[in-house]
Structure 1
Amino acid sequence: MSGGVDSAVAAARAVDAGHEVVGVHLALSRMPGTLRTGSRGCCTIEDSMDAQRAANLIGIPYYVWDFSERFKLDVVDDFIAEYRAGRTPNPCMRCNEKIKFAALLEKALDLGFDAVVTGHYATIVTSPEGDRELHRASAWAKDQSYVLGVLTAEQLAHSMFPLGATPSKAEVRAEAGERGFTVANKPDSHDICFIPDGDTKGWLGERVGTETGQVLDRDGAVVGSHEGAHAFTVGQRKGLHLGVPAPDGRPRFVLEVRPKDNTVVVGPKEALAIGEIAGSRFTWAGRAPEVGVAPIPCDVQIRAHADPVPAALTLVDGELVVHPETPLDGVAPGQTAVLYSGTRVLGQFTIDRTVSAVPVGAAASA
């Protein structure tokens, strides 16, 4: 129970369904803030108190479990390491993978519980063969199956998502109001919970450090300078402070971050089009598809709120390779690609490399 409306209603519905339910709030910070900053953050003392009030109304036991050390190691430190390596990580994916459906689930099973129930908008379907499959929620506008793409078959066997079939978030809020939950109109959390002020650049600068480096164009010419490559991400346009304008006068975007030599590569928007993504760190959400060197059809989604794109999937030398039917826009190594077959989540992989759909020199003449 995060202290939000979704987990409160999910807990109440689990009780209504006849389950024996215990509310658990995760303490993920050794120094939690007292109050939320608008809709930023989700691990404050205020959130813990909101969760306890909801548990009391439902009539279930309530506990706070301290996973702050595990969260620091598996999520925060990983976030810093990924940026140091020039990649763009997704900490929410890592939290689901390492904390909510690993550390929390492991402890729950050890204590004799059967499943972890959350307020995520996704559904679990049992196939005719008896396999549990992860599917999109009924309302795609609120669908959260992307951030659950890291779940394995074993984790799906011990997971429940009571909100998956709910048509809209408005309906969940209305139900929360009818149940008397004070969080009925509480804003949704967003951004990175451990950077509540939203200043990711400043937060990283304190931990990674700053060092002057060069900004290059696609031909290797120096067009500017910067104070640390970690502050940039692929697709970024603002804050480049380039000293040399593009020959055609058009805006330039970050195309690549090279942490080894502390350089940033910029170019035209067309060069952000990606025709191939690949990665060797992958998992399957349920039964693994029969994928090999012969391509199989799928849909690929590279951000939580992006549209799925039809693609061809292969597995070559231990690396998943995806060729989208239409180029993907502004993909950065470190992002998570979630694979779908219709509404079903097949699995996910961390993007290790990308191949531009526009060769060097082609964008300038386009």
Structure 2
Amino acid sequence: MKTKALALKDYIIDIRRKIHANPELGYQEYETANLVAGELRKLGLEPQMEVAKTGVVAEFRKGAGPLIALRADMDALPIQEATGLPFASQIPNVSHACGHDAHTAMLLGAAQILKEEEFEGGIRLIFQPAEENNYDDPDRFSGGERMVKENVMEGVDYAVALHQVPMMPSGMMSLTDGPVMAAADVFTIVVEGRASHGGLSPEMGVDAVYVAAQIINNLQAIVARNISPTESGVVSIGTIEGGFAPNVIADKVVLRGTCRALSQESMAYIRERIQTIIQQTAGMHGAKASYEITQHYDVTENHPTPTKVGRAVAKELLGEQAIIALGPNMGAEDFSFMAQAVPSVFGLLGTQITPEVSYSLHHPRMNLNEDMLPLGTAWLAQTALELMKG
């Protein structure tokens, strides 16, 4: 499989660079989707367009075996690229600083290989929009959640996905059992008080700034005193907006933050505690408070069966010494919705150029070692084939 993927190296890199130079934000991936669909049509496939708004899905079957979904994300980030690459983004303030261009290219490479392979089963190729955010979607669905809502995972036995990691040494893979990435919410809290003169008659007002400060302090007790030390959780307030004059009691404060956990159960409990704390804290001081989740991801969780298969394939392709277990982290990924819907494996592929030239995901200078892309292609294709064997 590695030999077949290496033969496609120039193709995979060329696709990656075309997408990289023309990045598109979530739910705006029109040109990217057209490029993907065009490549799939060259293979004789009939891609479905406008799935989950701007996604592309194609399927082919060669027998009655299991149906395996392979997923790549397509959207870019609202970040001005600073790599200086000859194929750098041509779109101001938009770039593939997370490497979704590479994910899409690797999956197109896997499609090239699998179309020529003999197997008993089916392959569903999923090119997903809007992984990074819900981009003001009226339903507040990211691309992965919307695809699940539109039944893209219906009939799928296993799902497989991959993320490149520019801080991990090239040629290494991490395949973690259980949780890989956290459930995550982005939320808004609005505290409503009553304005008054802050020097002359503060007793006539209800100080939304003071109430907001109490809410922030009380929220810290959720993880410190309500979550087991053996569990992981985060509650962070990132922005505070309120008040309009130094001598006026503020009547409104808006807090925005995030909460995260490594289990669906812990996440549900954290959400419930946030709601309770803000309502009761506000009520103690005669204020009102509302809590709204504006974005959410489930836990990205690796199922034992596909993870065991994916790890065996990685050892065969890269060598046993190349397989590491990074453990779960508190980042978020919306492959999580697919992983909650069907047994799945989410692999991490090291693409570090050198330790000296290494920038993290979402950094304006993030770049990756393109020599690793055929390995990702080989892993996707071979893991799908092995999963069909049962």
**What's the TM-score once normalised by structure 1's chain length?**
0.26
Say which structure, 1 or 2, has more relative contact order (CA 8 Å, 6+ apart): 2
Looking at secondary structure, tell me which structure has more helix per residue.
2
Which of structures 1 and 2 has the bigger CA Rg?
2
